[in-house]
Amino acid sequence: MNKHLIKTLLLLAPAWAFAAGGGVHLEKANIDPDNVQSLQRGAKMFVNYCLSCHSAELMRYERVGKDLGIEDKLVQEHLMFTGGKLGDLMTVATADADSKEWFGTVPPDLTVIARSRGADWLYTYMKSFYRDDSKIIGVNNLVFPDVGMPHVLWELQGWQDAVITTVKDSHGKESKSVALELTEPGIMSPKEYDRAVRDLVNFLDYMGEPYKHERKSLGVKVIMFLLVFLIVAYMMKREFWKDIH
Ligand code: HEC
């Protein structure tokens, strides 16, 4: 199978994509889609650190601003670095051919990445880069072995190294377990980094399904209406049947 086909299959099969994590335990992202501030911080992270390589071509800046309650002027100042119009799609400046030459592969569009990978995978992925001198780009990733993406958030997180320990089970069978250890701190504490990644994943999740929020609040309204209607119906029933008994 060629690489492209494998990738397409991975995108189509979330369950399989999960298995491709190589059995690594995924950390819970615990994102909160209703937390608008978290989404705003995530949007900023995304345009600052991801949009130079990855696009989000199904998304318009204008929509992000409206959904996340950011004024047009602020969207232009804080989310759009290369000018352009508010109605523009979140495309990327790097040409595919250049990416291919630099990274050996074209960074995929991230608009619906949360739907194919899931929030927990993305959260764990952004926390699982580690130094690996055997790789050309000098890094590797626990949930995405031999990844072609550099650790773009290294300044924030710092550098992790893999600590491999061999454990023996009760039958004497050996197995290796890999843990990551922060050996060179970044400008954020581990707690701050977790929060930053959670915000980022929250935003990626929102992009994958921008209607989720609307749908949820509509659902609540419908249920409220049904409850009120139930009370009215009950009162009417009592009224109608009162003389019959
Ligand atoms: C310097 C360029 C570059 C930047 C910046 C970058 N990436 Fe990547 N990313 C890549 C490349 C190249 C790949 C493809 C890796 C592969 O297939 O081996 C990739 C792959 C990924 C994948 C895996 C996609 C899949 O196949 O399922 C995710 C998720 C991802 N990037 C998220 C991000 C996020 C989030 C950011 C911002 C914090 C970011 N990337 C910033 C280059 C980049």
Domain count for the chain: 2
The answer to whether the CB of 105 is under 6 A from ligand 1 is: yes
Mean pLDDT lowest among 10-19, 81-90, 136-145, 235-244: 10-19
CA distance 78 to 65: 11
pLDDT for residue 15 is more than 50: no
Task: Examine the domain organization and report whether 198 and 237 are in the same domain.
Answer: no
Task: Examine the domain organization and report whether 154 and 243 are in the same domain.
Answer: no
CA distance 168 to 100: 42
Task: Examine the domain organization and report whether 171 and 244 are in the same domain.
Answer: no
Residue 84 has a CB neighbour count (10 Å cut-off) of 13
Residue 65's CATH number: 1.10.760.10
Task: Examine the domain organization and report whether 85 and 203 are in the same domain.
Answer: yes
Output the pTM of the full model: 0.80
The answer to whether the CB of 150 is under 6 A from ligand 1 is: yes
CA distance 127 to 214: 30
**Digit-coded pLDDT (tens) for 169-205:** 888 888 888 899 999 999 999 999 999 999 999 999 9
Q: Of all residues in the chain, what percent carry a pLDDT higher than 90?
A: 55
Across the range 92-117, mean pLDDT stands at: 84
Task: Examine the domain organization and report whether 10 and 107 are in the same domain.
Answer: yes
CA distance 110 to 161: 27
Task: Examine the domain organization and report whether 194 and 231 are in the same domain.
Answer: no
How far away, in angstroms, is 66 Cα from ligand 1 center? 26
How far away, in angstroms, is 232 Cα from ligand 1 center? 55
What residue numbers bound the domain in which 8 lies? 3-210
Inter-axis angle of helices 190-208 and 119-126, nearest 10: 140
**Digit-coded pLDDT (tens) for 219-245:** 888 899 999 999 999 999 998 888 876
